[in-house]
Structure 1
């Protein structure tokens, strides 16, 4: 049996992966960011600071799962006026839908990366969304904790989730893009039993 204190990672088919167990998301070192287009040209970025959940790593990686909750009221885009509009009933409607969740339903893993498909629930609508996930590595922190770092990306059409507010432009196109890019940098801490 492997001593988890000395070996919080393992090698599977020549690839380093986290040991099986519950790896809790560290919200202070996790970034869930999104990018949309303004006037169909300018990239506008935002992020959520309130993220919690667990990545449960199984012995067989495809049996692993991910469960995440996002506090939609913690959205930040660098502009307080825009943030207020994003939180309003026009867009996220955080008073009615204060959280978004992602719960994995299927993991297709090869080497150090894979596709994690799950149910993404935003704005009262749930859709299957694939995340392209990479295991970025492991570190032992100065306090003796074991940390596994992951990155992920996907894109969604916000109208698929009932977030349809927009303004038509005289020159054609829309004020705010329908397609939203999502990028995630996730730092997790192994929960010792």
Structure 2
């Protein structure tokens, strides 16, 4: 009986130690951007970004687990061309009045050592949710000299088929359905 109590105590101690390794982060909005790129008639690339975003990250680098939850306001789209921004907000594209936010939630992290290499999750846009895997182009954690806290982040990207979310404007004219989505994120330890 005494042996079982010691084993139980050791297991509880190990469990609490493992739970203590999960760290919470809040995205730092001046170093976090959600952008997209789409080819324009095979000649140039149209780009835009969403200026209003928020989110959190849970990361356990030892257990190689995590969770990311980032949302962005579609009405904050910024292409640098006001007329294009206005068109993107209507029913041809985002239908932002009806669907004001998009959200990515990822709970399957891939690692190489202690570096995140990919995050698989779900992207919700226009009230439709589909799987998306973001591949890390860079990942790093560092001690921020101004915040005096650990900051983790990187550039994560995926190519998505926009028609899955009901965005098929221009397909019949030759606009591609594939859109490159890039989420550049830095998150501050809480």
1:156 CA drift (Å): 0.2
Distance 1:150 1:167 in 2: 32
Matched, 1:89 2:88: no
1:107 CA displacement: 1.6
- Counterpart position of 1:108: 110
Q: 2:157 aligns with which of 153, 157, 163?
A: 153
The answer to whether the 8 Å contact 2:54/2:72 transfers is yes
Q: CA separation of 1:60/1:144 partners in 2, compared to 1, >3 Å: closer, same or farther?
A: closer
TM-score by length of structure 1 reads 0.80
**1:188 — aligned with what?**
187
Choose which of 157, 164, 170 in structure 2 pairs with 1:166.
170
Q: Which residue of 2 aligns with 1:7?
A: none
TM-score (normalised: structure 2): 0.82
Q: CA deviation at 1:100?
A: 0.6
Structure 2: unaligned runs, 5 residues or longer: 1-20
Shift of 1:110: 1.7
Q: Which has the larger radius of gyration?
A: 2
Q: Displacement of 1:32 after TM fit?
A: 1.1
User: 1:110–1:74: structure 2 CA closer, same or farther, 3 Å change rule?
Assistant: same
The answer to whether the 8 A contact 1:61-1:109 is kept is no
Cα RMSD of the aligned pairs, angstroms, is: 1.7
Q: Does 1:128 align with 2:131?
A: yes
Figure out how many residues of one structure are paired with residues of the other and give that number.
168
TM-superposed deviation, 1:185: 1.4
Q: What's 1:66 paired with?
A: 68
The runs of at least 4 aligned residues of structure 1 exceeding 6 Å deviation read none
